[in-house]
Structure 1
């Protein structure tokens, strides 16, 4: 018996199966609670009177694909959700009347993706939506009556990537990419877009500068803005005079979330996330509530939902080493009532703390990162094991996204199986200012990859992991990083797990969804322009496909057949190249998934394959496969012999 065996194996189903409940909300009038929970094994919307929370009922009955997001209509008469088909990301909008139970699709169009353009605090029965049913590249703006489903065209769009409306549901702004790869912002005047922009950004500010909404009376437009600075600060702009006032700034992180007055739309508190999220209140009453909540909880906490009168909040608490819990918070009485625990089956599980760490890259950048250690490696508050343990470098997607502190199911599974898990915010990650993002321009497979290698070197030098037992794993860009790791630095990683990762950047850009076309210059400026000889050369050099014959270590690839962002051909290509070169590879395909896993049966099956693959490669433990493959849609295309139990 090893030291790790003293700690129970956490079942995969407890980590990746359906939660007991999720996404708790309160209706705008405070009369109803809602949440997502299984109905006949599939996540659906449930509601209950706040006065009688045990009197719960399902109001949707999806039988195959889980509902993953829901909301209340402003008039509190209905709940809504968006749903696609088998991962194609053509999301349609649905409404369920809470009294009659009648469900209707409000945007009943084929091959259409709905976006929410604007909602109102004062107009309760109407929203503005964008629909690309006329032209898949452009979203036309419509007024949608939430009660009747009536759609009225407001603006036929043939030029703009997005819009913003005020509380009267009047279009005020249109946004378009400019020749420099930045964004131009145009005003609407009498329903028409002005010829010249009133604000513009260069490419360097495009990801860190954008309008953040109007006050209810339309007199103030908030901005998150990095122009003439590094991190995005919060500004208030007078819409009549154009003058701007600095509201908040943080030297290490962009200003992120806000809490706003439900009646006026004015900002009452704001957040910034460097290693952890920090909220700062402007409004004293909001500050008192946030301070009181902090005093009640260990770990992280936040607000999920609020009533129109702001008297009741739904709040969550992530203790770090216990399952996330959700509460109903009555502000005036300062009373917390338990709502639910998301995964109560983890209450006795040996969950491990996540440690924020800072890693220095070879050229001096600080890489905010997160480390989780296995339970036998020291435990407690220490962020170093007593002796090196096998490690998985878990790379986030995007790449223009970020890792954050808090409960992470993949971290917990891998740590429980005996691995240190390291997630690195490499250059290009968002939230740390524009300089950090722009340091990644044209650096796919170069400095962005160097950051990951530097993190590996740090882990070895710090005694966290032995050099010969480090795996790389990730989804989307993280999948690309996995392929790049094995192809460009074939001696660094013992194995790799690629989930929906692109292998050929040239074909990736050729097949982006049509509704991304209005922003395509961003990809060209930050990755390489396939329309120029130098850009095409750069994309080919950064594509793992063209160095597939250099891969010598075991590789597991997973792909959703309906992925609109990273097409199945991206995985097919590199698997074909490896087969041609005589290199073993395991390839699993999911015919009912897109860019990642929505169905828990598929998540459980894939991570069963992944943990058994990793156990063979770097020596951790694994829960046997059992019958999870049969319960999923997994199709093993190649290499079933390389994973224990996969061949039956």
Structure 2
């Protein structure tokens, strides 16, 4: 296993004895490598280092043909600019790599790559619409398929035996989404994840020899017997003609409920149709929820994602407004009765909407959100490889222009009441992004700031989530 080594002050590789948890270091860090890859025999062959140069993040691939050879660099690429290059693993003798790349097709696909020549060899698998997300590897290190997302995670297996087993499981659970997440070596025992948009996830265990099995573990046991509402797909043409898709969920029995627009974080992630307890909670309160896979969202091909680069507060933002206009024009929800509610980048969208469209929303909720974009990109402690997708850091005028799409500089344009929630242990977005905005806005706006001691970026502890749900519920009840 690879983990951060305090002694080396870098990522080193350890051999761990599972029986007694003892471990030995088998590879000290070299070349500032952050990720290591072994061949199926356990020999370390590849390492990936990421370095910053001239405000760009450069990934370097290091390789050795034999265990006792020195590492040599075989490939470099600039993250966010060059074709993607994500190693999924190696063949048995370590001479070829299986790589996810958006080269040629402009969608991420699985390719074979000859390490010695540094050349791609052949296309292993691609999907006509979606990016390939990962290669599927069995317990022996063999590549047996690929996974990708449409509304849910889907698997494609190279072997008819594995494909037939997956189809059997899918047919068994009907309209629910079922996927095999683990197999025994002989393929006779399987663990299956079953979920849908309105059913919380449950794991099932099956022994195919004895033809016995059943529910094994529920992710949310306290929700397992609850009935939830289905999520609807939608797509429409944005104001510039591009096709945008997303999800709309509404409570049953209400013709035109108040609307919550809920942009996802990232921004280079996406919304899925999976069961979402936060979404279902909001719907249970009587609100409709609109989710948007705006420009910049991942999984829909490279062009769709890169169309969101340098578009904070611009095209990505407009896609959200266009989706809301579509929802009101189609009669799914009433006009002028909406709140926008987002976390992380979604919090940035919410705060930006507050001043760009001050009459569109009755209330604004930002969780771990960004109010000062220029401060974010200049915060060296939180800079990462995606920084170059926000702005060209070598262009000082472009960096300065981020102030023009930052809510902290547009407080005088805001009308709607705001709720800000942020944790003090947020390592992605400094909690002062919310605190300083509150300090500057509190004299002139209806605003509440909730600071959660030791809260992380994702509020991944129960107490933080309780605070979030309580504050959001009370705020929505008052303003929407």
**With structure 2 as the length reference, what TM-score do the two structures score?**
0.90
C-alpha contact (below 8 Å) 1:528/1:536 kept by paired residues: yes
Partner of 1:299: 176
Matches within 5 A, 1:157-172: 157=30, 159-167=32-40, 168-172=42-46
- Give the C-alpha shift of residue 527 in structure 1: 1.1
Aligned length: 471
Q: Does 2:374 match 1:506?
A: yes
Matches within 5 A, 1:353-368: 353-368=230-245
Partner of 1:603: 465
Partner of 2:431: 568
C-alpha contact (below 8 Å) 1:173/1:188 kept by paired residues: no
Matches within 5 A, 1:396-475: 396-475=264-343
- Give the C-alpha shift of residue 610 in structure 1: 0.5
CA distance in 1, matches of 2:380, 2:121: 37
Runs of 4+ in 1 over 6 A off after TM superposition: none
Matches within 5 A, 1:147-226: 147=20, 149-152=22-25, 154-157=27-30, 159-167=32-40, 168-176=42-50, 181=57, 183-188=59-64, 190-194=68-72, 197-198=74-75, 200=77, 203-205=80-82, 208-226=84-102
For structure 2, the residue ranges without an aligned partner over 5 or more in a row are none
Name the SS for the 1:460 alignment partner. Answer: helix
Partner of 2:2: 128
Matches within 5 A, 1:102-113: none
Go from structure 1 to structure 2 and tell me whether the alpha carbon gap of 1:134 and 1:175 turns closer, same or farther (over 3 Å shift). Answer: closer
Q: Deviations over 1:318-356 (max 9, x none)?
A: 143333322102244554322133334435534100112
C-alpha contact (below 8 Å) 1:549/1:577 kept by paired residues: no
Partner of 1:337: 214
CA distance in 1, matches of 2:470, 2:258: 18
Q: Does 2:455 match 1:590?
A: no
Partner of 2:344: 476
- Give the C-alpha shift of residue 286 in structure 1: 0.8
CA RMSD of aligned residues (A): 2.5
CA distance in 1, matches of 2:321, 2:113: 43
- Give the C-alpha shift of residue 243 in structure 1: 5.1
C-alpha contact (below 8 Å) 2:236/2:243 kept by paired residues: yes
CA distance in 2, matches of 1:161, 1:359: 41
CA distance in 1, matches of 2:477, 2:115: 59
- Give the C-alpha shift of residue 491 in structure 1: 1.7
Name the SS for the 2:124 alignment partner. Answer: strand
Partner of 2:130: 253
Name the SS for the 2:476 alignment partner. Answer: helix
Partner of 1:558: 421
C-alpha contact (below 8 Å) 1:289/1:331 kept by paired residues: no
- Give the C-alpha shift of residue 564 in structure 1: 1.1
Q: With CA pairs under 8 Å and 6+ residues apart, which has the higher RCO, 1 or 2?
A: 1
- Give the C-alpha shift of residue 530 in structure 1: 5.0
Matches within 5 A, 1:235-384: 235-240=111-116, 242=119, 244-263=121-140, 265-297=141-173, 298-377=175-254
- Give the C-alpha shift of residue 535 in structure 1: 2.4
CA distance in 1, matches of 2:466, 2:423: 15
Q: Deviations over 1:217-266 (max 9, x none)?
A: 42431111101221111112244565522111112110113332322x23
Matches within 5 A, 1:30-69: none
Q: Deviations over 1:491-514 (max 9, x none)?
A: 221111111011112222233546
CA distance in 1, matches of 2:433, 2:299: 29
CA distance in 1, matches of 2:178, 2:338: 33
CA distance in 2, matches of 1:600, 1:369: 29
CA distance in 2, matches of 1:512, 1:560: 19
CA distance in 2, matches of 1:419, 1:205: 42
Q: Deviations over 1:352-393 (max 9, x none)?
A: 00112213222222222111111223xxxxxxxxx3221111
C-alpha contact (below 8 Å) 1:512/1:565 kept by paired residues: no
For structure 1, the residue ranges without an aligned partner over 5 or more in a row are 1-126, 378-386, 619-648
CA distance in 1, matches of 2:21, 2:275: 41
Partner of 1:42: none
CA distance in 1, matches of 2:11, 2:135: 28
Q: Deviations over 1:379-414 (max 9, x none)?
A: xxxxxxxx3221111111111111111100111011
Go from structure 1 to structure 2 and tell me whether the alpha carbon gap of 1:579 and 1:162 turns closer, same or farther (over 3 Å shift). Answer: same
Name the SS for the 2:426 alignment partner. Answer: coil
Partner of 2:409: 546
Name the SS for the 1:565 alignment partner. Answer: coil
- Give the C-alpha shift of residue 282 in structure 1: 1.2
CA distance in 2, matches of 1:535, 1:153: 46
Name the SS for the 1:364 alignment partner. Answer: coil
C-alpha contact (below 8 Å) 1:326/1:340 kept by paired residues: yes
C-alpha contact (below 8 Å) 1:163/1:175 kept by paired residues: no
C-alpha contact (below 8 Å) 2:362/2:417 kept by paired residues: yes
CA distance in 1, matches of 2:281, 2:38: 43
Name the SS for the 1:375 alignment partner. Answer: coil
Name the SS for the 2:321 alignment partner. Answer: helix
Matches within 5 A, 1:8-27: none
CA distance in 1, matches of 2:29, 2:134: 31
Go from structure 1 to structure 2 and tell me whether the alpha carbon gap of 1:152 and 1:342 turns closer, same or farther (over 3 Å shift). Answer: closer
C-alpha contact (below 8 Å) 1:220/1:238 kept by paired residues: yes
Go from structure 1 to structure 2 and tell me whether the alpha carbon gap of 1:323 and 1:203 turns closer, same or farther (over 3 Å shift). Answer: closer
